[in-house]
Amino acid sequence: MKKPSKFFSALTSVLLALFLLTGAIAVPTLYRPFYYAQAEALDLPAQTGYSEETIRGAFDEVMDFLVKDAPFGTGDLKWSESGRSHFVDCKALFWLDFYVLEATAALLAAILILTAAKKLTLHRFCGRGPCFWALMGMAAVLGALAVWALVDFPSLFTAFHTLFFPGKTNWVFNYRTDQIILILPEAFWARAGALVAGLSFGGAALLTLLDELWHHFRKPKSVYEEIREMTK
């Protein structure tokens, strides 16, 4: 058996965290009924004066542009070139998320195959596997963001856009010229963020539980194998 690798163990933790986070982001991006449910829960037709059909049509047309490379449009709602340019920037981030998801899935699959074939053994830092450390890292980051969101979500929203759209102000929409902003209120983004955090953290917790159970109940090594690994 190969000597446990600390490098690949740490790398696996990072890849797991990225895979779970990008996968969680992809859920509200691709699963449109989530938005429809939030639009109903937030009573957007009454809040905006637009019909449910108008709201769904505008949202669907924007999402088709972002994920299907369709022409840009916002249904029956007005839009400006400044607003369109922001969605072009968003499109790059959406596709970056998809690429990272695919890349991390491929790398994790390769690591899994190597460990199953006993070509690679992952080190367990402090007796814990990569899933546990991915969970701890995500708990620290998502926990801090959750506290920030609860204390002052608007400032978190602003900081996010400042970080991912540096030097740009086209994300500050005028509802008179870019009416799409009226059907994408901060309350919706707060709920989408909560969904992403819950899915990614929940996935990490489940994988950690399964990993710990497997490690606990797997066939114990012989004394000879333990001594041989200690002397390598």
Q: What is the DSSP string of 45-97?
A: HHHHS--HHHHHHHHHHHHHHHHH-PPP--TTS---HHHHHHHHHHHHHHHHH
37 pLDDT more than 90: yes
Mean of pLDDT values over 125-143: 92
Report the distance separating Cα 209 and Cα 211, nearest Å.
5
201 pLDDT more than 80: yes
Nearest to 107 by CA among 25, 14, 15, 21: 15
Label residue 223 by pLDDT band (50, 70, 90).
very low
Q: What is the average pLDDT value for the chain, to the nearest integer?
A: 91
Which secondary structure element, helix H or strand E, spans residue 142, and what is its range? helix 130-164
Q: What is the DSSP string of 151-211?
A: HHHHHHHHHHHHHHSTT--TTS--TTT-GGGGGS-HHHHHHHHHHHHHHHHHHHHHHHHHH
**Extents of the domains making up the chain:** 6-230
Copy the structure tokens of residue 9: 């163990």
3 pLDDT more than 90: no
pTM above 0.85, yes or no: yes
